[in-house]
Amino acid sequence: MGLYLNPNADAFLGDKSTRIYVDKSLLIKELNSLVGTKEDFICMSRPRRFGKSMAGNMISAYYSKGCDTREVFSQMKLGKEVGFDKYLNKFNVIKLDLNELYQNAKKKNTHTFLIEQIDKSVGAEFREQFPNITFGEDEDSIDRCISKVYKLTGERFVIIIDEYDVLMREQVPQTLFESYLSFLNGLFKGTTIRPAISLAYITGIIPIVRDKVQSKLNEFTEYTMLDAAQFASHIGFTAEETKELCEQYGCDFAEFERWYDGYRLSDEVSLFNPKSVSSSISRKRMGSYWSATGSFEALKDYIMMDFNGIKQDVIEMISGKSVPVNVTKFQNTLESITNKDNAFTYLIHLGYLSYDYEEQTCKIPNEEVRLEWVNAIDDEENYAPIMALIKASKKLLDATIEGNEEAVAKALNDAHAEVTSPLTYNDEHCFQSAICLAYFYANTRYTLVKELPTGKGYADLVLIPYLPNIPAMVIELKHNKSAGSALQQIKEKNYCQALNNYKGDLLFVGISYDEKTKEHSCKIERLVNE
**Dihedral through CA 84, CA 75, CA 8, CA 60, nearest 10?**
40
Does residue 385 or residue 177 have the better pLDDT? 177
CA distance 317 to 369: 11
3-class secondary structure, 321: coil
Reference 122, options 181, 169, 175, 186; nearest CA is 186
Cα–Cα nearest to 310, from 323, 326, 329: 323
Sheet containing 221-223: order of strands? 92-97, 157-162, 197-204, 41-45, 221-223
State the architecture of 10-231 in CATH terms: 3-Layer(aba) Sandwich (3.40)
Question: What is the rounded distance in angstroms from the CA atom of residue 192 to the CA atom of residue 189?
Answer: 9
- Per DSSP, 134 falls in state P
Interval 279-316: pLDDT, tens: 999 999 998 888 766 655 667 777 777 688 888 788 78
Cα–Cα distance list, 44 to 194, 207, 229, 325 (Å)? 20, 8, 11, 22
Q: Is 132 left (phi over 0), alpha (psi -120 to 50) or beta?
A: alpha
> Tell me, what amino acid is at 145?
C
Cβ count within 10 A of residue 413: 15
Q: Contact 414/408 with Cβ under 8 angstroms?
A: no
Model confidence pLDDT, tens digit, residues 28-68: 999 999 999 999 999 999 999 999 999 999 999 999 999 99
Closest Cα partner for 78 from 121, 27, 146, 112?
Answer: 27
Matching fold, domains 294-377 and 385-527:
no
CA 75, CA 115: separation in Å to the nearest integer? 39
210 pLDDT exceeds 70? Answer: no
98-to-103, 210, 330, 335 alpha-carbon distances in Å: 8, 20, 24, 22
395 burial type by CB count under 10 A (0-12 exposed, 13-18 middle, 19+ buried): middle
CA distance 358 to 421: 33
DSSP 203: E
Which residues share a beta bridge with 521? 512
- pTM, 2 dp: 0.85
Per-residue confidence at 423, pLDDT binned at 50, 70, 90? very low
Question: Looking at residue 293, what is its pLDDT?
Answer: 61
**CA separation for the pair 164, 509 (Å, rounded):** 55
Q: Report d(CA 279, CA 289) in Å as an integer.
A: 7
CA 175 to chain centre: 33
Provide the pLDDT confidence category of residue 460 given band limits of 50, 70 and 90.
confident
Mean pLDDT across the chain: 87
Coil/strand/helix, residue 86? coil
The sign one gets for the Cα dihedral 378, 384, 388, 389 is negative
Domains of the chain, residue spans: 10-231, 239-292, 294-377, 385-527
CATH topology of domain 294-377: Arc Repressor Mutant, subunit A (1.10.10)
Pick the CATH number of 385-527 from 3.40.630, 3.40.1350, 3.40.50, 2.160.20: 3.40.1350
- The percent of residues in the chain predicted with pLDDT above 70, rounded, is 91
Is residue 408 a contact partner of residue 392, using CB atoms and an 8 Å limit?
no
Q: Is the model's pLDDT at 236 over the cut of 60?
A: yes
Using DSSP, state whether 300 is helix, strand or coil.
helix
Give the pLDDT of residue 122: 94
Q: What is the pLDDT of residue 419?
A: 55
Instruction: Tell whether the model's pLDDT for residue 424 goes beyond 70.
Output: no
Burial track 324-341 (b if 16+ CB lie within 10 A, e otherwise): ebebeebbbbbebbebbb
